[in-house]
A = this chain, B = another copy of it.
Amino acid sequence: MKIENIKVTDPFWTKYRTIVKDKLIPYQWSVINDDKAITIEKENAGAYDAVKKSHAVENLKIAAGLAKGHFYGFWFQDSDVYKWLEAVAYTLRYAPDKRLEGIANNVIDIISQAQEPDGYLDTYIQIEAPEHKFTHVSLSHELYVMGHYIEAGVAYYQTTHYRKALDIAKKMGDCIDANFGPEDKKMHGYPGHPEIELALAKLADETGDVKYTRVAKYMIDQRGTRPNNFFEEQLKNVQAKKIEDPYYSDASQSDPEPSYFQNDVPVREMTSVEGHAVRMVYLLTGMAHVARQTGDESLFAASQRLWKDVTRRQMYITGGVGSSAPKGEAFTFDYDLPNDTAYAETCASCAMSFFAKQMRDTYQDADYGDVLERELYNGTISGMSLDGKHFFYVNPLEVDPKASKEDPMKSHVKVQRAAWFGCACCPPNLARLVASVDQYIYTVTEDAIYADQFIGNETTFDNGLTIEQTGNFPWSGNVQFAITAKKTVKTTVAIRIPAWSRDHYAVTVNGQPLAVELDQGYLRIKRNWSGTTQIAVTLDMSVQMVHADPRVKDDVGKTAIQRGPVVYTLEQADNGCQLQANTLPVTPAFTVTPDDQTFAVPIVKITTTALHTDAATPIGNLYGTPATTLTHKKQLTFIPYFAWANRTPGEMMVWVHQM
């Protein structure tokens, strides 16, 4: 079974997709073209060095012989253009735009001219150091940027059928296949930053050519094996300063452990997620995809084991992963999830979404949809302001402006989103995720349609079924599915009941209550569909107080407020400062109020009464016995986590003390 056509009608995501289409895409286009009209704000850019310029399109023009000059930017600057292009590919599906398509076609033409005859394309190497082609893929981002192009080219071809877009991608794939593999004449290598694996798997899906999967699998299989001559020799080249890596020298990890690159053990032997979070999760995404394509059970088992590890031991409640800045935007150790020094890069949450999709496409378990939902409504979109023009790289769960300013350990934790970054990986990553959110709604197998996400849509399937999903998720738990069959269709429609609703939910079919046991989190309705069938799902939208595993030190004695999939937070703009001095009672009374005034998007806010502990006097005693403590009742307002930092900067706190 296949999806023939899908149209997102969802109010929540339509807002976001409109922001991406109308604001983010043009804004990014101006940035990567160094439009003089764009003013990049320097404030709050901090460690990420707000750029003076991007130069990303210019680099491609120089490589294409269309302009003269030097390369500028990070080694992976090309990927800014490719991720923009991929986002464009998705937006054109829901908002056709001939002018934009023309711009994109022109970019593809430049890319095509920049590409070398053998398919290679990396503007840094081509412009500045052609002799270093593929001599240091352990640290260079050559395979990373080509991977991003391949993703973009495939997506753009799928939307527009512009042949050249796919041809460039295929030539890149051919180039990589020609240079990497087990054969003696090829390099027995793999990149320091995984990405090419997942891209080649996508290219194989599109073209049906298994050689792309084969080389992707080769790189996955080879990674972490010993002897590790290729990788070590390449690393030595860089460390001997034969090659300068502007990114490498900028990284906080000046001498990374092999685990930073996921290169300490073969992937099938890995027992926990390690190292740079985005690298790790991109690798996992490729692993899951290749495992499905090849039917490699041990590879899927490794993906599944590491899925459990990351989601059960190293993921914030917002879906954020990678808790340590100084360790290199990296995973640390089990249950180490500090809220106020979190890294939780926007890219890492996007990567978790990609990983979840690949796991989901391989194996029927609502867990993948649950985690994906957590990412979609929390840790990904928190990376963008509601004006679509300001971005977070780091998504903390607790912020104190004083600490961000004065504590070097928290200097990466920003209180305001920045206008752009020197290392601009996050904004276009989020753009392509939001623009392609339709791809995450359904999973189809031979005999079933799985409704994974409650994102309103009208979708036709190639078996003649049409599903119209409506509702006001995530604010309302009432979701309707109108399923229409032109002729009688025998199939299963399975609806994910989210983990947060599994104790309380109701489903009716044409008004009649349906009572079926959930199967791996799905409610399966198997029948001969004819005419229009109305399925109404009512999810549990009560305010939930979530507690963390007690091994998560920073969350002990605290609760996080969640309603539906949305994690809530306290912000100073509503609640004043000293947020930590608020303590919720054991059974707080919550009031749920729709609010379309406060932010550029409608939200639902939650209010309750807490106990606020007053600081005694300006200079009282720092330590005393409890009798000296004064408390008063205080109303607290919780807003969705994703909406924080859209008002006056101040404190923010997800995990709140509870009696």
A residues near B (Cβ < 8 Å) are 252, 308-309, 311-313, 315, 317, 324, 326-327, 332-333, 336, 341, 400, 402-403, 406-409, 499, 544-553, 556-560, 578, 580-581, 583, 613-616, 619-626, 628-629, 657, 659
Residues on B with C-beta less than 8 A from A400 are 553
Contacts beyond the supplied A317-B623, A324-B408, A326-B409: 8 A-B pairs with Cβ under 8 Å: A317-B622, A327-B406, A546-B623, A546-B625, A548-B622, A551-B578, A557-B657, A559-B626
A580 touches B553 (CB 8 A): yes
Chain B residues with CB under 8 Å of A548's CB are: 622-623
Closest chain B residue, CB of each to CB of A314: B622
Whether B547 and A626, one on each chain, are in contact in the complex, defined by CB atoms closer than 8 angstroms, is: yes
- The contact of A550 among B333, B341, B581, by CB within 8 Å, is B581
How many copies of this chain?
Answer: 2
Name the 5 nearest CB pairs between A and B, nearest first: A550-B581, A550-B613, A326-B408, A557-B557, A553-B580
Which residues of the partner chain B approach A546 to less than 8 Å between Cβ atoms? 623-625
Contact A615/B408 with A312-B622, A621-B312 known, Cβ cut-off 8 Å: no
Chain B residues with Cβ below 8 Å from A623 are 317, 546-549, 560
Instruction: Check A406 against B308 for contact (C-beta < 8 Å).
Output: no
Q: Are B403 and A336 interface neighbours, CB within 8 A?
A: yes
Residues of B within 8 A of A620 (CB): 312, 549
Residue among A252, A400, A621, A657 with the highest chain B CB neighbour number at 10 A: A621
| Smallest beta-carbon distance A301→chain B, Å | 14
User: With A580-B556, A619-B308 given, is the CB distance from A332 to B549 under 8 Å?
Assistant: no
Contact between B659 and A659 (Cβ–Cβ < 8 Å)? yes
Q: Which residues of B contact A616 (CB under 8 A)?
A: 549
Chain B residues with Cβ under 8 A from A551's Cβ? Answer: 578, 581, 615
Q: In the complex, which residues of chain B have a beta carbon less than 8 angstroms from the beta carbon of A624?
A: 546-547
Beta-carbon contact of B629 and A547 below 8 Å: yes
Q: How far is the CA of A545 from the CA of B544 in the complex (A)?
A: 32
Which residue from chain B places its CB closest to the CB of A619 in the assembled complex? Answer: B312
A332 touches B625 (CB 8 A): no
Q: With A336-B402, A622-B311 in contact, do A341 and B409 touch (Cβ < 8 Å)?
A: yes
Chain B residues in 8 Å Cβ range of A556: 580-581, 583, 613, 657
Nearest chain B residue, comparing its CB with the CB of A309: B619
Is B622 in contact with A313, judged by CB distance below 8 angstroms? yes
Quote the shortest CB–CB distance from A394 to chain B (angstroms). 14
Nearest-CB residue, chain B, relative to A334: B402
Q: How far is the CA of A407 from the CA of B609 in the complex (A)?
A: 37
B residues near A629, Cβ cutoff 8 Å: 547, 550
Sample (28) of A-B pairs whose CB atoms are under 8 Å apart: A252-B408, A311-B622, A312-B621, A312-B622, A313-B619, A315-B622, A317-B623, A324-B409, A326-B407, A327-B406, A327-B408, A336-B402, A336-B406, A544-B625, A545-B626, A546-B624, A546-B625, A547-B625, A549-B615, A550-B580, A550-B581, A550-B615, A550-B629, A551-B615, A556-B581, A557-B558, A557-B657, A559-B626
Contact partners of A557 in chain B: CB under 8 A: 557-558, 583, 657
Contacts of A545 in B (CB 8 A): 625-626
Q: Nearest chain B CB to A352's CB is how many angstroms away?
A: 13
Residue with the highest number of chain B CB atoms closer than 10 Å, among A547, A578, A657: A547
Q: For the complex, what is the distance from the CA of A560 to the CA of B622, rounded to whole Å?
A: 13
- The verdict on A402 contacting B547 (CB below 8 Å), with A327-B408, A620-B312 known, is no
CB-based contact B622/A549 at 8 Å: yes
Specify which chain B residues have a CB less than 8 angstroms from the CB of A308 in the assembled complex.
Answer: 619
